Chain A
Amino acid sequence: MIQFSGVSKYYEDNVALKDVSFSVEKGDMVFVTGPSGAGKTTLLKLIYRSERPDEGNIIVADWDVGELRQKTIPYLRRNVGIVFQDFRLLNNRTVFENIALALRIHGLHPKEIKEDVADVLKDVDLKHKAHSFPQHLSGGEQQRVVIARAMVSRPTVLLADEPTGNLDSDTSTIIMRLFREINARGTTVLVATHHTELFSGTGRRLIHLKEGKIIKETVG
């Protein structure tokens, strides 16, 4: 589903990633870990083509990401759900509208949008907050909205960049449970985090990054 082959990325003279190779099979749930500045965020950005590799190839769900033309990028991103640490919700739109936006981009019928958003809100246990605005929600609730938005269009890959960065441990547990449920439905999940408690004891594959290089692969 995701394949990196000798990928390097430089920001002027700084090495963000150097000769990174790994693959993630369809339906896997993998953690990318490492200290701040290890290259976790760059790795995710390369997957959804926010950045372009300077060396190497990246294949995501049969898309040769490095060779994509500008006008094709949106279609790759429709297959990749993204969960950010800073949420990136639109504060002038309700929870419902924020989630529905992902489906409007796909051009779905309003009736389908209504049904799908209701379903996903039920999954993240936020049905009662459908008409609230993001700034009136707690951090955990906002993150659940982001997960709902990323999942509503049923992407093949879900990426999460420090999804529990600003959340307490109870809320983090809820968020991780959601990721496991999403993965159980067949979605490939890649979580970048430096919080070891999120993956310890999970039995999931861990990719350790340091200074832009994969230093080891272990099991959590």
Chain B
Amino acid sequence: MRVFLFSLQSAIKNLWLEKWINILTMLTIAVGLLILGSFVLVTLNMDSMLKRWSDGFGLVIYLEENLSTEEEDLLKEYFQKDPDVIEAKYVSKDSALGEFRKTLGTMTSILDGFEKNPLPSSFELKLEREALDPVIIKKKALQIIQLNGVEDVQYGEKWLSSLNTMTKGMKIIVVLLGGIIFIAIAFSTYSTIKILFYRRIDEIGTLKLLGATRGFIRLPFLFEGLFIGTSGGLAGFLGLLAIYYFTTSRIIEFMPAIKGMMIFFPPETYIAAPLAGAVMSLIGSIFAIGKIRY
């Protein structure tokens, strides 16, 4: 415990003595995490907007003509039992025609040529978000079309596919960028601690001769790395927060409709940036000190 406290004191003293190189490293980490945080935030907002759009997304199942009420009920029961289905709404022929008339507005006269209602009755299925995957949904559509009384199944296949590709693309970018930035943070701290280690090589030599253990020699450097990483992460997070509020306030000025739609990270994740900075810097510091030989 005493060695721990002494190492902490030494680390604070050394952080102050070498403040400029430490501040520079801290800022490098802050900028790295700020860039990564910005990408994650954009992805988060895209995902949130996609979720809003996909709330209205589902399958439309067109039924055969002259289906009995019992057959329609059987189908409804089948859909309601499906765990991927949130809601199964029945749309009768008359309702469908009414909706179509509303859509046509003043051009309803084009329907006058039909002797009877040309639109089929249907079910509109609202699906769970997890089920909105092109593969899952295609499989489900193929199963449904085999059912008795089902004429056709339609869904926005291309649209859904594009949405998924976009979201997945952003997620891949975030993962790749995250990997690069994490390595950059570790390398940045590695370089700084290596420099500090060599600047204190005489002191380390004296400590070794006085009987200092490897832990005693390493600990102040690890504390320094930890502090640099944590403070860099914190500075990056605060920078991101400032940029977010500044940007959203400017966007809302021009696009008031977007108010309330943009989101920031939930409070429970605020620790992520300082933690990421701390962990990666600690890894960099451990590699920088390397193996101490007597």
Contact = CB atoms under 8 A, between A and B. Distances in A.
Interface string A33-48: 0000000000000001
Contacts of A104: 2-3, 6
A109 B1 CA distance: 10
B139 interface: no
Contact of B206 (A48, A78, A88): A88
A88 B202 contact: yes
Contact of A90 (B203, B211, B214, B216): B203
A124 interface: no
Interface residues of B, number: 19
B205 interface: yes
A82 B209 contact: yes
Q: Give the interface size bracket for A toward B.
A: 20 to 34
A70 B294 contact: yes
Contact of A108 (B2, B207, B293): B2
A49 interface: yes
Interface string A98-116: 0001101111111000000
Interface string B40-80: 00000000000000000000000000000000000000000
A48 B2 contact: no
Contact of A70 (B2, B207, B293): B293
B206 A77 contact: no
Contacts of A48: 209
B207 A105 contact: yes
B7 to A, nearest CB: 9
A90 B213 contact: no
**Interface centre among A70, A71, A74, A106, by most B CB within 10 Å?**
A74
Contacts of A110: 2
A74 B211 contact: yes
Contacts of B294: 49-50, 70, 73-74
B12 interface: no
A73 B216 CA distance: 14
B210 A101 contact: yes
Nearest to B202: A88
Contacts of B212: 74, 105
Nearest to B214: A71
B17 A78 contact: no
A76 B293 CA distance: 15
B93 interface: no
Contacts of B203: 90
B208 interface: yes
Contacts of B206: 88-90, 101
B46 to A, nearest CB: 52
A92 interface: yes
Contacts of B2: 104, 107-110
Interface string A61-79: 0000000001101111110
Given A104-B2, A104-B3, A104-B6, A88 B209 contact: yes
A47 B6 CA distance: 29
Interface in B189-243: 202-203, 205-214, 216
**Interface centre among B17, B209, B211, by most A CB within 10 Å?**
B211
A82 B206 CA distance: 10
A88 B209 CA distance: 10
A90 B209 CA distance: 13
Contacts of B213: 71, 74, 105
A77 B209 contact: yes
A74 B217 CA distance: 11
A105 B210 contact: yes
Contacts of B293: 70
A105 B202 contact: no
A61 B216 CA distance: 24
A32 B206 CA distance: 23
A152 to B, nearest CB: 10
Contacts of B3: 104, 107
Contacts of A89: 206
A193 B209 CA distance: 20
Interface of A: 48-50, 70-71, 73-78, 82, 88-90, 92, 101-102, 104-110, 149, 153
Interface of B: 2-3, 6, 17, 202-203, 205-214, 216, 293-294
9 contacts: A50-B294, A75-B211, A88-B202, A88-B205, A88-B209, A90-B202, A107-B2, A107-B3, A149-B210
Given A74-B214, A110-B2, 7 more contacts: A49-B294, A74-B208, A74-B211, A77-B211, A89-B206, A90-B202, A90-B203
